[in-house]
Amino acid sequence: MAKKKLLIVESPAKADTIKKYLGNDYKVMASMGHIIDLPKSQLGVELEHGFEPKYITIRGKGKLLTQLKKEAKACDRVYLATDPDREGEAISWHLAKALNIDENSMCRVTFNEITKTAVKNAMKEPRSIDMDLVNAQQARRILDRIVGYKISPILWEKVKKGLSAGRVQSVATRLICDREEEILNFTPREYWTVEAVFHDPKSKKDFCAKYYGKNGAEDELSSGEQARAVTAEIKNGKFTVIGVKRGELKKNPPPPFTTSTLQQDASRKLSFSTAKTMQTAQSLYEGVNLGKLGTIGLITYMRTDSLRIAEDAQREAAEYLTQNFGTEFVSPRQYKTKKNAQDAHEAIRPTSINIKPIDIKGSLSNDQYKLYKLIWERFAASQMSAAVYNTISASIEADGHIFKAKGSVVKFKGFMSVYVEGSDEEKEQENMLPELSEGQTVNLKDICEKQHFTQPPPRFTEASLVKELEENGIGRPSTYAPTISTIISRGYVIRNKKQLIPTELGMVTTDIMKNNFKKIVDVEFTANMEEQLDEVEEGKREWKMVLSDFYPPFKENLEKAQAEISKIQIKDEESDVICEKCGRKMVYKLSKFGKFLACPGYPECRNTKAIREGTGVKCPKCDGEILIKKSKKGKVYYGCEHAPKCDFMVWYEPVKDEVCPKCGGLLLKKGGKKIICYNENCDYEGRIQK
């Protein structure tokens, strides 16, 4: 009787999916991620002896490793099918070492998508473990360990408990803190616009135009006096159309998703955090039970910065789009991957465009459906024709003063029949113009002057931070989500609605890092380190050389910082609240959940208090005040001051000084634009008036 073959993957969900494809000849087990790693209790790296890592079995994984060894002995072949990236390659290498498998043997199997065809084809083409990939992971892991384990204790001992540092996280925090400083230091500049509504006597239609300038020169109006002077000069003038331009504008579809663009669009359109996006994408990749269709991996591997699309997927997309939209909507295309991208995997796409989101909605969770629909639509759009607009612009003149109007109308929707790309910037609404002709006159119907002020740069959202990290070469597809999760969990940054706001702790730590470990928080230096790690992966650089080039200047800097950093004093801000236990004035402390009050007499007096933050809105259940609170995960919610006696709690912000016009109940702000009634028996909905 032939022995079985053992296939080891990372997760149980992936194991369950693959098991169904390979049949009874294979036993499929999960390693549950890394099984071997550096110890948590010590640095675990021989700094003076070639940066040799001291790997150990992760606590709690011993029993699992024993089971894997037992199964490996009982099977005649062992295949390692962990994820197809640096981390996955390192996990396979550690497993090979632990299970006495020759790393040069054909033991490694990778698949970009978990479908029956892809898995069976991958099993026919095993390879040896790619040590360049492994070494790139080792270099990254050791760099991060050195930075974290060498700087954090100094911050902890010399400055303040709770401070810590990380190689990529510290740069991400710096970007957020630097942006906050820009906002705080920003001086608004006043400017004015003059906007007119004209009536076209021929078409009987109105249209809007903006003031441009006088006698062909563009004028910037810096005061209300200037704006009112323009209005006074032209109010009784004759308005003539002096120029009309008509044209056609083509808008090409966006490429399929990479990790970065998926995280950005899911943040903008679905309000998903980067971590939630990746968790949901992982479940779609590993496989979902679709009933009669069986268990299928619905998307390709979700950690990628490549835009490449497999030819089979392109052909299938062209056939589907031709049948469902028509040949004029189809335009198969490959997209150019940027220079420093790792092209090992395809772009993120559905494993089959024929599996339509709506057809499998009942088999997916709400989050899975939303994300799969987004990925499906983006990929479909990427293989479709450009959208075409008819454009028109007109110049209207009176006494030398010129107004300009422009508009567009969609002539051919093309890819926009399926997908419209999200954006962080607000877009101007389309302004439709009537069929104007040069030389005709139009009537001034209304005119107004508007005051504006220049705006500071916006705070980062998760979407815009991921974009910034990618554009600066900080981190790689697998690191964006954990980096953001880490800086939030450490209390350096809070997420308020969609904005990432640095805490006092984040600002203080960033200042210390900038003054004492300049290179660690330097964007260019960190990007250069990423390039060196990429070169290790490509076999162009020796991994220990990267470490030996980095460590000596870092060590020197560390010794200088140890002497200087102890001079830093961070005083706690004093409050007016008196500690009822010992009479001292309480001070503000900061945790990852926000500020709280603590007695400065610690450890003799351990009294702490939550900071009360009211809304000025009465609780509908007991007439107490509704307070702003935070969950254990740091999410803002609204609850009664008399909790837990009163169980009132909502996620939406209560509206102050207004009641429901239908039932007199509490109103809540939902999604930034809508107002709803708290009373579940009332269907009132309104709009937030800006």
Query: pLDDT (tens digit, 9 = 90+) per residue, 43-65?
Result: 999 999 999 999 999 999 999 99
Helical axes 480-489 vs 462-471, angle rounded to 10°: 120
Structure tokens at 224: 């209300």
Q: What pLDDT score was predicted for residue 18?
A: 95
Q: Any residues with CB less than 8 A from the CB of 89 and at least 6 apart, and which? A: 82, 108, 129, 130, 133, 134, 137
Q: How confident is the prediction for the chain on average, in pLDDT?
A: 91
User: Percent of the chain, pLDDT > 90?
Assistant: 78
252-267 pLDDT, tens per residue?
Answer: 999 999 999 999 999 9
Query: Domain segments of the chain: what residues?
Result: 5-129, 138-185+458-565, 190-252+387-453, 259-382, 574-610, 614-687
pLDDT band for 162, please (50, 70, 90 cuts).
Answer: low
Alpha helices by DSSP H, listed for 251-388, are 259-270, 274-286, 311-325, 357-360, 366-382
Q: What pLDDT score was predicted for residue 569?
A: 67
Fold of 259-382: Topoisomerase I; domain 4 (1.10.290)
Structure tokens at 432: 């439709």
pLDDT for 80 beyond 80: yes
- Burial call 231-241: b when 16+ CB within 10 Å, e when fewer: eeebeeeebeb
70, 7 Cβ separation under 8 angstroms: no
User: Percent of the chain, pLDDT > 70?
Assistant: 95
Helix (H, G, I), strand (E, B) or coil at 166: coil
Mean pLDDT of 336-342: 70
CATH superfamily assigned to domain 190-252+387-453: Topoisomerase I, domain 3 (2.70.20.10)
Helical axes 504-516 vs 167-185, angle rounded to 10°: 110
431 versus 624: which is more confidently predicted? 624
Q: What pLDDT score was predicted for residue 690?
A: 52
Pairing of strands 26-30, 5-9: parallel
Q: What is the dihedral of CA 149, 150, 156, 160, to 10 degrees?
A: -120
Mean pLDDT of 364-373: 97
pLDDT for 429 beyond 70: no
Phi/psi at 149 (5° precision): -80, -15
Q: What pLDDT score was predicted for residue 613?
A: 83
Give the type of residue at 393: S
CATH number, span 138-185+458-565: 1.10.460.10
The C-alpha atoms of residue 638 and residue 647 are separated, in whole angstroms, by 11
Residue 280: closest CA among 270, 290, 294: 270
Helix (H, G, I), strand (E, B) or coil at 292: helix
pLDDT band for 561, please (50, 70, 90 cuts).
Answer: confident
pTM of the model: 0.84
pLDDT band for 689, please (50, 70, 90 cuts).
Answer: low
Q: What architecture is the 5-129 domain classified under in CATH? A: 3-Layer(aba) Sandwich (3.40)
CA 149 to chain centroid: 27
pLDDT band for 593, please (50, 70, 90 cuts).
Answer: low
Mean pLDDT of 290-297: 90
Q: What pLDDT score was predicted for residue 29?
A: 97
The C-alpha atoms of residue 461 and residue 266 are separated, in whole angstroms, by 12
pLDDT for 592 beyond 60: no
pLDDT band for 216, please (50, 70, 90 cuts).
Answer: confident
Tokens 């054909």 found at: 106
How many CB atoms lie under 10 A from the CB of residue 527?
17
168-210 pLDDT, tens per residue?
Answer: 999 999 999 999 999 999 999 999 999 999 999 999 999 999 9
Active-site residue set: 301
The C-alpha atoms of residue 198 and residue 113 are separated, in whole angstroms, by 57
pLDDT for 2 beyond 60: no
Structure tokens at 627: 């307070």
The C-alpha atoms of residue 477 and residue 342 are separated, in whole angstroms, by 10
Pairing of strands 614-618, 649-650: unpaired
pLDDT for 633 beyond 70: no
pLDDT band for 232, please (50, 70, 90 cuts).
Answer: very high
Mean pLDDT of 602-619: 89
299, 349 Cβ separation under 8 angstroms: yes
Mean pLDDT of 160-174: 87
Residue 584: closest CA among 605, 559, 556, 614: 605
Mean pLDDT of 513-528: 93
Phi/psi at 151 (5° precision): -85, -45
546-559 pLDDT, tens per residue?
Answer: 999 999 999 999 98
pLDDT for 516 beyond 60: yes
Alpha helices by DSSP H, listed for 300-349, are 311-325
Give the type of residue at 477: P
